[in-house]
Amino acid sequence: PAWYAFQAQTGAPSWPPPPVPAPPVRVGFADAPNAQSVSTWTWDGVSGWQQYPLWGHRIATGSSPETLKDGGGSPHVFYVDESYGNTITHWKWSNGWQQEPFFGHTVAAGSSPSAISVGGTLHVFFVDASNNNTITDWKWSSGTGWQQEYFYGHSVAAGTSPSAIVDSSGNPRVYFVDASNSNT
């Protein structure tokens, strides 16, 4: 920022071009008029609410995207990508939107991912159809990138999704309807 301010004071042209700020994403949804792809609603104090279609792959039927900001304030959108065999795909912001398919296990029909940031580490939990409908976590590490971690626990009830939170101690918690325990 100081470099760009210096260039502005001297009247010199900006070089390199300043980074494009991340949009303040508030909501992601399956946009039916735009080929069932991800669109977002953003809010700022100048323009108010604005809709931005991302024009990517189709969101799987019965699924909803999950939005999240990382520790640096960059937005992320995770969704079940029908175009890639109902696996998780990630829209990330880096001077513009970029779509990143994960190509992992298949997500159970009618369910959606749940994403949280724990101490700056992104986690995306989903119902893993390839693993007896148990919970699986896509976890980000700067050293290895995105890696799947399998929980092998009880099966999740059909048509439901996990819900992830960070508790008051900073620990992740994942809640789900437990099909193996009479849907409790």
Each residue's pLDDT tens digit in the chain (184 positions)?
666 667 677 777 766 666 667 777 778 888 988 888 998 888 777 888 888 899 889 999 999 999 998 888 889 999 999 999 999 999 998 888 999 999 999 999 999 999 999 988 999 999 999 999 999 999 998 889 999 999 999 999 999 999 999 999 999 999 999 999 999 9
How many helices and strands (H and E) does the chain possess?
Answer: 1, 13
Type of residue at 131? N
CB count, 10 Å around CB of 142? Answer: 7
Pairwise CA distance, residues 74 & 52, whole Å = 16
In the three-class reduction of DSSP (H, G, I as helix; E, B as strand; rest coil), residue 135 is classed as: strand
Pairwise CA distance, residues 83 & 159, whole Å = 20
pTM: 0.85
Pairwise CA distance, residues 107 & 111, whole Å = 7
